[in-house]
Structure 1
């Protein structure tokens, strides 16, 4: 499905990002694994290597825009090009609205929105020349519903949805598709939500079960594959029906 393609996956050291990277590699892609957790990258790379896949490890703090741009150039030089970009990395933190500081707001912006913009902008340059590319962004149901205790996270993820639609319009003439996935409470980020980890206070969803990275990763694979060549600018709610609200 992704034979002879080069894919970049951010947040690849754990959770959804790790599962997406493994799926891309299994589908035939050579994968650049990007994350600030070098040890986690090695563990995921080992899984892919054992299955006969090919990876490049890129330890990177995505809040550093200059280093992120440099990393894109390095991946292109080493792997020849970038065909697929999956922006999965993100940070969160449950904070009351009045307690959100400017520093925490800036940190949320740098990782969750600015790095997504920077990566799309610089990866798309090569994609435009080849008139081919697949970009998959990670938003959140919080971008749609909002969170009173996590307003800065919700705001940045809403920005990702706007960026997705705008980039889809700007890059569509070059045969580059740009789409977003809205998961909920399935990643390592839920370490910040002990109630969810303990199985309590599970948000209502139609399927009545918590999700796993393996539930979400196939959507990223579809949006990176030729099967989605005529799909762009859309948001896929991969959340077990959470966006529908309380089941009847």
Structure 2
């Protein structure tokens, strides 16, 4: 049986938060499958380094310093991508910021910062890119949410709320954009071994730690960024055009439903 190519023509994909962790794994996977990748990250040097490594491996990638809380920079970067790499028809919103604070200690500034990165940044990036998808009559959006949106987490009411917002945003946008040939889905990662998770462990917010989580995960291992990238790579394929508005859990069975 022959394997269908991911796309009939190589698309341009934007991956936010693409310089490390889940975002980097997604950028690498897209490149390996033939996409041209624009890596957006607030650490512009890291974005450039990641793109250089992908290019050295035979792919096509360019890094851009983009803070997703800065709408004007998002718009400028999307215009640069369109001019130099081609109009983007794939968008993965992977940029994220966590936070651990007691509910009564969460300040207005902290609340706004968490929402600005995780929810408003997702909205702004979609709004900047969707016109190019409409022009093409085809598009794929994957929003990286969090299992915290499904279960809630103590000390993370602001983060859980923001990521739950991403889930609702995804469902609504999928219904609006479906007739335009654009699908919108969300992946809420579970326990994934990323630099963010390790920082959380170092700060003492993971109880017994990352490795201990294996015993309470049905598949008996901690997830890797490549697990999320594999699911994301399927959702942006042409053959995934009948999947939209869905929550695709990638969590080793830790969260059901």
Q: Same fold (TM over 0.5)?
A: yes
Partner of 1:218: 230
TM normalised by structure 1 equals: 0.93
**Is the 8 Å Cα contact of residues 93 and 192 (structure 1) preserved in structure 2?**
no
1:192 is aligned to 2:218: no
Distance across 1 between alignment mates of 2:210 and 2:13: 34
CA drift at 1:161? 0.3
Partner of 2:139: 133
Distance across 2 between alignment mates of 1:171 and 1:244: 28
SS of match in other structure, 1:137:
strand
Distance across 2 between alignment mates of 1:29 and 1:52: 12
C-alpha distance after superposition, 1:193-224 (max 9, x if no partner): 33549436528321122111112110010011
**Is the 8 Å Cα contact of residues 139 and 157 (structure 1) preserved in structure 2?**
yes
Distance across 2 between alignment mates of 1:193 and 1:102: 26
Distance across 2 between alignment mates of 1:201 and 1:90: 24
C-alpha distance after superposition, 1:59-113 (max 9, x if no partner): 1111112211222222112222011001111000211111111111111111100
TM normalised by structure 2 equals: 0.90
Runs of 4+ aligned structure 1 residues displaced above 6 Å come to none
Question: Of residues 119, 123, 129 in structure 2, which corresponds to 1:117?
Answer: 123
**Is the 8 Å Cα contact of residues 177 and 183 (structure 2) preserved in structure 1?**
yes
SS of match in other structure, 1:108:
helix
Gaps of 5+ in 1: none
Over the aligned positions, Cα root-mean-square deviation in angstroms equals 1.7
Partner of 1:37: 43
Partner of 1:157: 163
Distance across 1 between alignment mates of 2:132 and 2:165: 24
Partner of 1:19: 25
SS of match in other structure, 1:86:
strand
Partner of 1:208: 220
